[in-house]
Structure 1
Amino acid sequence: MHDVGGDLDGHGDGVHRPAEEWLGGLMVNPALPGAVLARLLAAERLPGHVSSWLTWRPLDAEATALLVASPRIEHRLQLLENGRADADVLARLARDPEPRVRAVYAALLGDFGRRIPEGMLETLAEDSHPRVRRMVASHRSLPLATRARLAGDADGSVRAAALTRELWEQVPDGVRDALLTDPDPRVQQAVARLLTPASEPEPETDPELRVQSPDPRVRCAAAEDPGVPTDLALRLATDPDDGVRLVLSMREDLTEEQRSAIPYVVPGGYHTPPRWVMERGHEPEVARRAAASGHVLLRRSIAMQPHLPGDVVDRLAGDEDFFVKLTLCESCAQAPHELVVEMYSYWHGLKWSFLRAHPNFARPGLARFADHPNPRLRRAALDDPEGDSDLVLRLADDPAVGTWAVRDPRLPADELLRRLTVPASALAAAANPALPPTEMHRLLDLAGVPRV
């Protein structure tokens, strides 16, 4: 990589110093070393257009530690909303000097599927601030002994939050008596909820009466209920309510002839799959039956499964219904590469861009789209794992996908440095993970960010 430091320093004629773009690019660069991140955290001012940058960037243990130690509350709060932060390092925020940070930590402790460090719930339950104790009192995994202690907390809101039916049934009589006479209205309401008997299930109604009910909700439930005999349920095939007929048409026990004879109406948009498909759609024979059905909603429903047998995938991938194929690409890991790329190329719904994250999207051969008139496919060319630096360089000036090419680590090193001096591409170049740490520091120097 040749040294263009002179260019960046502004010694040449006509050379720009787009400090805002450099900072904005570094903020989203996924390969920031800890020392560079520390300088960004210490910067007095960062570009406002890169908001909440700490909530979604990758964070290892070192980066998490830097944020935990940041003197700025907003940094620590953004860290708590980052699902990739290191759980053990993050636990230091349980003793943060700011109660608001500790309270948010308690509220988000188990979010993002994060592992809860051992003893952390008990630590938070002993916090000096009632808001923190209230947050942890609401946690489902709180040990019963700790919950019982919080039920006797000095703060009424904590006592109320700690009350659960399980606790109520197991606490000593003295604790229960104290709660029954608690003067705090919040505790009184919580106790009243616990003392209200759970609603008894309604006695089973005669299936024939349910089918004949004037309430379409009752008829709809009967149409779906496998406990209602098939011949009786089929009386609803001419029901005046579209929803009843639709639910009936998706019963598991119907033959395809019975199903097709029902004048159901397929509504627009997404739908809730029938229960039997949701519960047993992972079973190969259930999947095959739904995929072979003439009912388009059953085929769309089974296409929602995250994993399907190969023959079922092949059948759904060739389905005549567009949304069967789209749903397969959005949900199923086995959706074929060609179909995923096809859907990505022209589907305009909310999830179109996420199709690039499908495990079958990036494949050798995508580089053939480098000159395609569809800009999405030119963008897909950059996902070819065998694409070389010439491919990236070729697309770097493309008005539609050039930003992505400049961010690609395969961009030639000299060209990457040159792009840092071009205002239109400076942000993308600074975001390139192949940018050497020495150049990152140089950009911060030029942007006036002091060394830490």
Structure 2
Amino acid sequence: MTDLGGDLFPDERVTGEITDAWLGGLRWNPALTGPVFERLLSADDEGSHTRWLRSRTLDHEMTAAAVASPLVEHRLAAIENGTADVDALAALARDPSPRVRFVYAAIGGDFGRGMPEGVPEVLAGDSEARVRAMATQWGLPLHVRARLTEDDDARVRKAALSPELWPHLSDTVREALLADPEPGVREAVAAILSDGAWALPEPAAPTPEERVGSGDPAVRRAAAQDPDVPLALALRLAEDPDDAVVLALSMREDLTEEQRSALAYVVPHGYHVPPRWVVERGHEPAVARRAAASGHVLLRRSIAMQPELPADVVDLLARDEDFFVKLTLGEYGDKAPHELVVEMYAYWHGLKWDSLRFHPNFARPGLARYVDHPNPRLRHAALHDPDGGPDLVMRLVDDPDVGCWALRDPRLPAEELVRRLTVPGSARYAAANPALPSGTVHRLLDLAGVARTAAVRAG
């Protein structure tokens, strides 16, 4: 699409409501560029719009812009965004705000991204004790941790202690920690020593018979599913008064299907913990086939959680009579068939239902057949037909349930996208359309009164 001229936005249509809608939509535009991102940051001069910063995808350039923002709220939002660039965030280890440095020390390495080399050491030398204490969770070298055990703040001394560090401390430091004036530090030392050579002899472990006969249901439940407890002994729990004990017994690997079906177990509502043998060996074809063919629905749901399954097991689970077996297959595995994923998307009402549209087998030619379906989710699915064209999008653009998605679809005809930018109720979604040219986006920001940054002026 070519850039759109200013004459396409008559003054009488560019109201405050419309420009606010543009700003709201542009913040979520997936094709957002760095210069536009910087202008949107500058438009939020009070830091009152940060939800988008916490939620949208941030590349290196965007993360760096948020980190360089003069507003603490913007810098905090960047830390809390799981997609933020690791290297760009590293500058926050020296942020002028103690609050920012603390939050960065607390969660800056979360979301599986870790912290760049050397950054934890910077945080360990921070002037704020709470920042130094938080830094201990990010794999500090032993010599740095050792230094922190002599910190003036008890919180830091306690946080720095670990079983791995203790043998490397000098006798003088260990004696000081043993006599530390802070009870919490002495308790941390005692916990370390309890695992070492100074520990008192532990009492003898209970025998399998004692565990099965325990008065504690939690002990009996653990015994019921423990493969080290002989099956003949575990079967004494078949009529246990605690339903959870019988359920645990029913999912043992060494039961025959006949023995399993003879147990009066109760399948509870909600999430369940898969048995260890399925978790650890469910990738093995023989184990997967046995669990998938079991009459125990929780074993079938458990094996459906395995990300890699043989094709025949996927086919069997996809035809399962239990809704949640099929749902689990769709949520956890990439091989769930297209028809199943669409079915789950259409009819599941759990918290993760919307994520099913990102399944690799969701978008397929032929989904356009749902364009007039009474189920709004299936009408939305129609927009994911890769063969669908502008006509498909136009049929849904005024749909009360799906129109917001059609307005953001890059296949929306250019003239319709332009028109919708000045229509109340549509402008926000049209501004989020990735097909908007960069020049047009800057024109929208100009009309919204957002100053151009130096980079944009130079361009």
The interval holding the TM-score normalised by the smaller chain is over 0.9
Check the 8 A contact 2:50/2:77 in 1, yes or no: no
Separation of aligned partners in 2, 1:136 and 1:253: 46
Quickly say closer, same or farther: Cα 1:3–1:84, change in 2 above 3 A: closer
Quickly say closer, same or farther: Cα 1:441–1:261, change in 2 above 3 A: same
Structure 1 segment 28-177 matched on structure 2, within 5 A: 28-44=28-44, 51-137=50-136, 139-177=137-175
- Normalized against structure 2, the TM-score is what? 0.92
Aligned to 1:265: 266
Q: Which runs of 5+ in 2 are unaligned?
A: 454-459
Separation of aligned partners in 2, 1:247 and 1:112: 33
Work out which of the residue numbers 178, 181, 187 in structure 1 matches 2:179.
Answer: 181
Separation of aligned partners in 1, 2:417 and 2:279: 49
Separation of aligned partners in 2, 1:107 and 1:296: 41
Aligned to 1:418: 419
Separation of aligned partners in 2, 1:46 and 1:426: 24
Tell me how far 1:209 sits from its aligned partner: 3.6
What percent identity do the matched residue pairs reach?
65
Structure 1 segment 188-199 matched on structure 2, within 5 A: 188-196=186-194
Tell me how far 1:200 sits from its aligned partner: 6.4
Letter in 1 for 2:146: A
Check the 8 A contact 1:8/1:15 in 2, yes or no: no
Separation of aligned partners in 1, 2:438 and 2:404: 21
Letter in 1 for 2:186: Q
Tell me how far 1:26 sits from its aligned partner: 0.9
Separation of aligned partners in 2, 1:412 and 1:140: 50
Tell me how far 1:130 sits from its aligned partner: 2.0
Aligned to 1:255: 256
Quickly say closer, same or farther: Cα 1:140–1:3, change in 2 above 3 A: closer
Check the 8 A contact 1:27/1:431 in 2, yes or no: yes
Tell me how far 1:407 sits from its aligned partner: 0.5
C-alpha offsets along residues 40-74 of structure 1, whole Å, 9 cap, x if unaligned? 111156896x6511112121211111111110010
Separation of aligned partners in 2, 1:188 and 1:205: 31
Tell me how far 1:185 sits from its aligned partner: 4.3
Residues 1:216 and 2:217 are matched in the alignment: yes
Letter in 2 for 1:175: V
What SS does the aligned partner of 1:18 have?
helix
Check the 8 A contact 1:7/1:15 in 2, yes or no: no
Letter in 2 for 1:444: L
Aligned to 1:443: 444
Separation of aligned partners in 2, 1:224 and 1:238: 15
C-alpha offsets along residues 82-129 of structure 1, whole Å, 9 cap, x if unaligned? 121111121111111112111211112321111421211112212222
Aligned to 1:428: 429
Letter in 2 for 1:23: L
Separation of aligned partners in 1, 2:10 and 2:69: 30
Separation of aligned partners in 2, 1:121 and 1:72: 24
> Is the deviation greater in 224-233 or in 144-153?
224-233
Quickly say closer, same or farther: Cα 1:182–1:265, change in 2 above 3 A: closer
> Is the deviation greater in 291-300 or in 165-174?
165-174
Quickly say closer, same or farther: Cα 1:130–1:363, change in 2 above 3 A: same
Aligned to 1:311: 312
Tell me how far 1:174 sits from its aligned partner: 1.6
C-alpha offsets along residues 367-410 of structure 1, whole Å, 9 cap, x if unaligned? 11111121111100111122212211221111110110000111
Quickly say closer, same or farther: Cα 1:141–1:220, change in 2 above 3 A: same
Tell me how far 1:224 sits from its aligned partner: 1.0
Aligned to 1:23: 23
Check the 8 A contact 1:362/1:385 in 2, yes or no: yes
Letter in 2 for 1:375: P
Check the 8 A contact 2:101/2:131 in 1, yes or no: yes
Quickly say closer, same or farther: Cα 1:51–1:72, change in 2 above 3 A: closer
Aligned residue-pair number: 449
Separation of aligned partners in 2, 1:16 and 1:449: 13
Letter in 2 for 1:180: L
Separation of aligned partners in 2, 1:142 and 1:2: 52
Quickly say closer, same or farther: Cα 1:406–1:212, change in 2 above 3 A: same
Check the 8 A contact 1:130/1:158 in 2, yes or no: yes
Separation of aligned partners in 1, 2:218 and 2:266: 17
Check the 8 A contact 2:4/2:439 in 1, yes or no: no
Letter in 2 for 1:22: W
Letter in 2 for 1:431: A
Separation of aligned partners in 2, 1:171 and 1:9: 74
Separation of aligned partners in 2, 1:260 and 1:382: 45
What SS does the aligned partner of 2:255 have?
coil
Letter in 2 for 1:116: M
Tell me how far 1:144 sits from its aligned partner: 0.8
Quickly say closer, same or farther: Cα 1:217–1:33, change in 2 above 3 A: closer
Quickly say closer, same or farther: Cα 1:334–1:54, change in 2 above 3 A: same
Tell me how far 1:3 sits from its aligned partner: 4.1
Check the 8 A contact 2:50/2:74 in 1, yes or no: no
Letter in 2 for 1:142: L
Structure 1 segment 235-384 matched on structure 2, within 5 A: 235-384=236-385
Quickly say closer, same or farther: Cα 1:200–1:67, change in 2 above 3 A: farther
C-alpha offsets along residues 244-281 of structure 1, whole Å, 9 cap, x if unaligned? 22111111001111111112121222211111111211
Tell me how far 1:199 sits from its aligned partner: 8.3
Quickly say closer, same or farther: Cα 1:46–1:425, change in 2 above 3 A: farther
- Over the residues paired in the alignment, what is the CA RMSD in angstroms? 2.2
Tell me how far 1:300 sits from its aligned partner: 0.9
Quickly say closer, same or farther: Cα 1:195–1:419, change in 2 above 3 A: same
> Is the deviation greater in 124-133 or in 390-399?
124-133
Quickly say closer, same or farther: Cα 1:203–1:181, change in 2 above 3 A: closer
Separation of aligned partners in 1, 2:73 and 2:139: 28
Quickly say closer, same or farther: Cα 1:310–1:128, change in 2 above 3 A: same
Separation of aligned partners in 1, 2:433 and 2:46: 18
Quickly say closer, same or farther: Cα 1:201–1:4, change in 2 above 3 A: farther
Separation of aligned partners in 2, 1:263 and 1:160: 50
Quickly say closer, same or farther: Cα 1:151–1:251, change in 2 above 3 A: same
